[in-house]
Amino acid sequence: MNTPLLGKTLAELQDIVLGLNMPKFTAKQIAAWIYQKHVNSIDDMTNLSKANREKLGASFCVGFTKPIETVRSTDGTIKYLFPTGNGKFVETVYIPDGERATLCVSCQVGCKMNCLFCQTGKQGWEGDLCAADILNQIYSIECPESLTNIVYMGQGEPLDNYDNVMKSLEILTADYGWAWSPKRITVSTVGLRKNLDRYLNECDCHLAISLHTPIHEQRLRLMPAERQFPIAEIVELLRQYDWSHQRRITFEYTMLGDTNDSTLHAKELCKLLQGLECRVNLIRWHKIPDVDLKEVEASRMTAFRDYLNNHGINTTIRASRGQDIWAACGLLSTQKQTEEKNA
CA distance 313 to 294: 25
Given the residues 54, 61, 91, 142, the one annotated as active site: 91
The residue type found at 45 is M
| Distance in Å from the first CA to the final CA of the chain | 25
Given the residues 12, 104, 329, 339, the one annotated as active site: 329
CB 325, CB 72: distance < 8 Å: yes
Is 69 one of the catalytic residues?
Answer: no
Is 145 one of the catalytic residues?
Answer: no
* Residue (of 321, 42, 82) closest to 29 by Cα position: 42
CB 195, CB 228: distance < 8 Å: no
CA distance 212 to 219: 7
> For every residue of the chain, which 3-state class applies, written as one string?
CCEECCCCCHHHHHHHHHHCCCCCCHHHHHHHHHHHCCCCCHHHCCCCCHHHHHHHHHHEECCCCCCCEEEECCCCCEEEEEECCCCCEEEEEEEEECCEEEEECCCEEECCCCCCCCHHHHHCEEEECCHHHHHHHHHCCCCHHHCCEEEECCCCCHHHHHHHHHHHHHHHHCCCCCCCCHHHEEEEECCCHHHHHHHHHHCCCEEEEECCCCCHHHHHHHCHHHHCCCHHHHHHHHCCCCCCCCCCEEEEEEEECCCCCCHHHHHHHHHHHCCCCCEEEEEECCCCCCCCCCECCHHHHHHHHHHHHHCCCEEEECCCCCHHHCCCCCCCCCHHHHHHHHC
Which residues are known to be catalytic? Answer: 91, 329
